[in-house]
Amino acid sequence: MSLFVTALAIGVSIAAPVGPIGLLCIQRSLAHGLVIGFVSGLGAAAADGVYGAIAAFGLTALSNALVAQALWIQLGGGVILVGLGVQAARSPPQPLASATETTRGTFAAFASVFVLTLANPMTILSFVAVFAGLGLVAAETTGAALVVVAGVFLGSAAWWLALAVGVSLLRARIGPRALVAINRAAGAFIAGIGLWAIVAALRP
């Protein structure tokens, strides 16, 4: 139980800092409602679970391989961010009364954020650093490693659920024109982060 609680805390601590992923989930919660916002967050939580598994199972070779390809992965992530930012800026917010979600829409929301979160191999270094800071090492048994992975995923998912619910409650108080302005501003910022990532990756 102690290990599980620690893993929950790790999941929350990794997910909580506001970055491009958090901004994207906030924008989607505002533009498309609670379901799309939360499902997008679940994509990030699933990716955190993957990186948590790499750290928990002590897969050093895989971790090193991801870091070695950081340049190409960062380029890919930057391109995805630019595309998602442009899409966010151009997509009109859905009215609350007609915010229906399709299976295709929720899968796309999940998959896009899952891939985007995986496209940051430095996340694995964050997990390694947190594990070391808490005095944790690779789990000694498969069961313990699975407990860590489950805790990381659930902690991250709980954060995204709280964020999506909070933003969705705020959404009901924001007018359509303000939502459009927020969409455009968030989309421009997300695309700008993507461009910065591309430039930083190509810089000698």
Among 115-119, 165-169, 191-195, the range with the most confident prediction by mean pLDDT is 165-169
**What per-residue confidence (pLDDT) applies to 97?**
44
Return d(Cα 109, Cα 38) in angstroms, integer: 9
pLDDT tens for residues 142-160? 777 788 888 889 998 999 9
pLDDT tens for residues 47-100? 888 887 877 776 656 656 666 666 776 777 778 778 877 877 777 666 554 445
Question: Where are the alpha helices (H) located in 57-175, listed in sequence order?
Answer: 60-68, 70-90, 103-118, 122-133, 142-171
Give the global pTM.
0.73
Average pLDDT over residues 15-33: 81
Return d(Cα 123, Cα 118) in angstroms, integer: 8
